[in-house]
Structure 1
Amino acid sequence: MSLDELEVGFFYSNGAYGRTWGVRQLAEIAADAKTGEMIYHYKGIAGTCRRKKGYCSPAEFARWAKHQVVLLENDWKRVGDDTPDN
């Protein structure tokens, strides 16, 4: 994903299958106190990321995030993948 597509509070998936699949919420964008560089803080929500918190550079998060997702019922769905009924 591009940096322009990433927004605080939204959920993203790495698009992997099986045990390596994960969902993270972009929790905060802040400047590193020592370097002044931007840091993305995230919360692991599902899959391999569940119950984990972390941070990384914006570029690292953008590389990891393949899709924006939303929880519908008990299933994570890609945003924008709505298939019209025929």
Structure 2
Amino acid sequence: MGPDAISFLTPTIGRCYSSGSFGHAWSVRRILALDPALDTVTCKIVAGPGRRRTETMTRAEFERWARYEVVQEESEWVRVG
């Protein structure tokens, strides 16, 4: 997990998170559901490769992928905080 990984945050339904990568690896995912029993996160890719696709991953996989929370301002994604 990188130094900016969000393991210290709780993924929250409805919020968006970025991979923090550049170019083709950059993407934004919106949390749709959390399943504590299975320890999974279901999200929709809202920007970047795979846009509009919904996927489920383990919370650990999500935490490795996510770098920070973002919000959309007009046509840009802006880091929260």
TM-score > 0.5, shorter chain as reference: yes
Rounded Cα–Cα distance in structure 1 between residues aligned with 2:8 and 2:53: 22
Identity %: 36
Rounded Cα–Cα distance in structure 2 between residues aligned with 1:8 and 1:40: 9
TM-fit CA distance, 1:3: 5.6
Ranges in structure 1 where 5+ consecutive residues have no aligned partner: 81-86
Please, what TM-score do these two structures have when normalized by structure 2? Answer: 0.85
Higher relative CO (Cα under 8 Å, sequence separation at least 6) belongs to 2
Ranges in structure 2 where 5+ consecutive residues have no aligned partner: 1-5
- How many positions carry a matched residue from both structures? 76
**Alignment root-mean-square deviation, CA:** 1.4
Could you list the structure 1 runs, at least 4 aligned residues long, displaced by more than 2 angstroms after superposition. none
TM-fit CA distance, 1:37: 2.0
